[in-house]
Each structure stands twice: as structure tokens, then as C-alpha cells.
Amino acid sequence: MKALVRGVTCGLVVACCSRVSLADAPGKLSVEQAYLEIGRSGELRDIQIDGNIDLARLQPPAGVTRIILQGVQVSGKLHVSGDGPKAALWIDHATLQSIDLSHGHLQSSLEIENSTVDGVARFEGARFDGPFALHSCVFNNKAVFRKAHFSGPVEIVASQFHEPAGLKGGVSFSDTRFAAPARFDRSHYYTDLRFDTSRFDADAAFLRLTVDGHASWRNVIFADDAEFRFCRLGEADFGDDEQMSVFKHMADFRGCVMRSIRLDYAEIAGDALLVDMRVSPGNLSLRQASLRGDRTDFKGLQVAGLIYLQQAYIPNLHFLWVEIRDALLRGSPSSDVLRSLKHRLEALGDEDGAREVGAALESHVIEEKLARMDVALSDRLTLWLEKAVWGWPTGYGTRLDRILGLALASWLSLSLPLAFGRGLRVARLRNDADLAMPRHSPAPRDALMKSTPSTIGRYLASYAYGFGLMFAMPNLRLRPTEPLPAFMGFYLVFLRLLGAVLLALTGLTLAKVSPIIQALLGKIVH
């Protein structure tokens, strides 16, 4: 009896475990059974389907406007023959082997969410009359949207696109038409991304888009606003003289980070916002671009490489010279570019920036003249002298700190022979009447006070005399004593002449950079 009870109990346990296992596993349907279930209820949930699903054969019962495929696993291909279902199609938490909607026609909306596509996803040449959405999806193989036509809104948001090793070309939206607003926000493309020759008839948003490889929008027309805020791109390419892109309204790149960006020959009719954009390690190229909007803003722009603005038309540019200076000058801008930037800064009231651009312009004009073969030797020497005496020491009148530092360094270094050289002693004049003696000439011993200074005192007196000699300090009572070696006499004359030159350069620089001096000079002139 006990053995019988034990056997019955074990049988019940095994049966219960089998039921639990079957309940946990998804049910399986054939393709035809799946079509029948859609025709009966309009939905499939937690079902595994072995075979290819033809969307054209998904016909829900009357009154059902939305077909639901939730938690399904399709081991075959999701495709469409002819026109797709008239009802909207929603696919959620699905695992699809592959998608092939090439040259198909979907009459209603297609929305795929939280799903994974393991094989190739083909949408090329397909026509979508209703909204199209890919939300939080993962594509583990190639995805192609080339020559597709989207009549309704498009949302490819928070999705991931991978490409197996060995494949090339990336994800392609080339020659695609977007007739309604299109969003590609927060999606991550671990490969290249191409929109070449596409057209956006309404707003196009790429907020926080990430592209690890090459991102191309060559020969693209943005009929409305194009927003790329906070995107992360590899090499961004918006065309050249053969495939130029057109922005009919705003182009917003605020906060973007990319390795390089090319906007050559681009036409931007609205505002162009490159605020806080960072380009590293590559270049920003705007050769012959036309940015005609009311505001083109480069504030906060950081470019680790070069900035090219050759023949660019940017009438309403807002920028800080200190932010773009190094990258722009590394790109060897023409004098026309620098002249335009100088006039623009003057119009904006940025006098400091305009002076610095003016200095760069002067230097560039000299370099252009020196590069010409028809410049006479005398003119060439004059240009070299201007560059050496006015350009380098003062930054063409913009670097007061540089000329002051040069003057200080000259005094400290050139006074060393006065303090430590042999044959020179410095003493104070007895009478004020002797102040008229030339500063560089030795004074008779009877005109000088007799004293025996310490070594440190002698050094300090020599440096004080060198400072007064070079920079024409008034009432300088220090003079060298007789006899003075001949070479030291020539050296003192040299110091006085050099000091006069440094004083003149400092005064000219101060006149250019100091508003107070400029105001005083203006009153004197008028």
C-alpha cells in the first residue's frame, strides 16, 4: 500500500513539473496558423513562429484598427508582397530573424519597439504611407533604407545599429524622401551612416545622435529646421563643390562633439548655431559656404585642428577671436578672410579682438608680399625690418605684455656687463648743474661723490644706472667715472639707443591698446 501511494505521489509531481515547463515555454504556431489567429483576434502574443511572415496577409477582423505582435519570435523573414495591411502594425519585444520590406508598400503605420533583428533589415525602395517608428530596437546586422519614401512622420529613436566585421557601407538612408518630420534622436550607429542625396521636407532632428564612423549628409536638402544638438559624430560630411547641401532654415549644431566636420559650399539660409561645438582632432571646413541667416554663432567653438573659411560668406557672424584664433591661423587664412573678421569685430564693438585680428592681418600681408618673387630687395629688407622690429616685439601693437616683458628682460640681461664688467664704476653727481652731462659719457672724478659702496651696493647702482640710461629716467644722478674703456663707451651708446627704441615701441603699443591714451590722443588731435 505504501509503495502504491509513493508511486502516485511521484507521478503527480512529475505531471505538475511538466505543466509548469510547458506554461513557461512560448507556444508555437505555423505561419498559416498565425494568419488565422490574426484574422480571429488581430494579435499574437508570446508566440514562436517558424517561417516567413508576409505582412500583406495579416488581415485583422472587422473593427480592429491595430495589429499587435508582442513577444513573438519569428525564425524566418518578415516581408511584404504587394500592399501591406490597412490596419496599423505594432511589434513589441519581438525577436526577428530578418526584415525584407524592399520595394514594398505599407498603407498604414509601422511601429517596432524594444525588439531585436538578428539578420539583415532591408527597407530600400519601400513606401510608407503612415507613420514609421523604431523605438529602442537593436539591429545586429546590416540595415538599408536607401531610396525609401516616408509620407508620414519618422521616429528612429534610442535604437542601436551594428554591422558585422567585414561588411562595409554602414547604415544607408541615401536618396530617401522624408515628407513629414523625422527624428533620429539618441540612436547609436556603431558603423557609418549615410543620408546622401536625401530630402527632408519638414523638421529633421538628430538630437544626441551617436555615429562611431563616417556620418554623411552630402547633397541633402533640409527644407525646414535641422537640429543636431549634442550629437556625437565621427567624420561629419555635408558635401563639397560637387555635392553641396542646402539648409533652408536653421542648422543647429550646439553642443556637438565630432572628429571633423566639412560644410564646404553649404547653403544655410537660417541661423547657423555652432555654439559650444567641439571638433577634435580634425578640422572645421567652411570653404565657400554661404551662411546667410540673421545669426551665425561660433561662441564657445573649440577646434583642435584647422578652421578653413576661404571665400566663405558669413555676414552676421558672432564669435570670440581668442576662441577661434589658433585653429584659424593654423589654416593659413587669406588676407580677405582676416579683413572680413576684423570688420565684423569692429561692427560688434569688440575693439580688443579687432586689434588682434588686425595684427594677424598685418603679419599675413607681409608674408604674402615676401612670398612674391617680384618684390625688390630694398622692399624685402624693409618688410623684414618691420616684421622684426614692430611685428614680433609688439604683436603689431596689440601685445603690451610682450613689449614690457622684452624691455624688462633687456634691462636685466644687458645690465650684467655694467655690474660685473671690468673698468666701469658708477657714482652719484655732486651738483644738479652737472645733470646736463650726457648719460652715456663718463664724468670727471671731481664731479662725482666719493664713496666706497659694498659689492651689493655697487651692483645695485650699476643696474639703476642701466635702467635710467635705457629708459630716460628724469634727473638721473648716476654717471660712469673716468676713465672709461672705449668698448664700454660704445656699449653705453648702444644701450641708450636700444632703450629709446623700446620706449617708442611701448608708447606706440600703449596708444593702440589703452582707451585712456586713445582718448587723450583724440583730444590732442581735435
Give residue-wise pLDDT tens across range 112-121: 999 999 999 9
Strands 478-480, 426-428: parallel, antiparallel or unpaired by DSSP?
Answer: antiparallel
Query: Would you say 492 and 440 are in contact if contact means Cβ atoms under 8 Å apart?
Result: yes
CA 330 to chain centre: 15
Which residues are within 8 A (CB) of 300 and not within 5 positions of it... i.e. 6 or more apart?
A: 275, 276, 277, 323
Predicted local confidence at residue 431, as pLDDT: 76
Residue type, 319: F
Query: Would you say 40 and 61 are in contact if contact means Cβ atoms under 8 Å apart?
Result: yes
Q: What share of the chain is helix, strand, coil (3-state, %, to 5)?
A: 35, 25, 40
Give residue-wise pLDDT tens across range 28-40: 999 999 999 999 9
In the chain, how many H helices and how many E strands?
12, 45
Alpha helices in 218-350 (DSSP H): 321-330, 335-348
Torsion of CA 244, 248, 253, 259, to 10 degrees: -10
Give residue-wise pLDDT tens across range 208-227: 999 999 999 999 999 999 99
List the beta bridge partners of residue 121: 99, 143
Residue 252 has pLDDT above 60, yes or no: yes
Q: Whole-model pTM? A: 0.78
Give the model's confidence band at 519: pLDDT under 50 very low, under 70 low, under 90 confident, else very high.
low
Predicted local confidence at residue 370, as pLDDT: 81
- Domain ranges for the chain: 334-396, 400-518
The label of the residue with cell 587664412 reads 333
Query: Would you say 41 and 75 are in contact if contact means Cβ atoms under 8 Å apart?
Result: no
**Phi and psi torsions of 8, nearest 5°:** -65, -40
Element (DSSP H or E) covering residue 296 = strand 296-297
116 three-state secondary structure: strand
Largest CA distance in the chain: 144
Residue 103 zone, left/alpha/beta (φ > 0; ψ -120 to 50; rest): left
Which residues are within 8 A (CB) of 39 and not within 5 positions of it... i.e. 6 or more apart?
A: 59, 60, 61
Residue type, 283: N
Give residue-wise pLDDT tens across range 181-210: 999 999 999 999 999 999 999 999 999 999
Query: Would you say 172 and 194 are in contact if contact means Cβ atoms under 8 Å apart?
Result: yes
Query: Would you say 179 and 149 are in contact if contact means Cβ atoms under 8 Å apart?
Result: yes
Distance CA(250)–CA(198), nearest Å, equals 17
List the beta bridge partners of residue 49: 29, 74
Predicted local confidence at residue 433, as pLDDT: 57
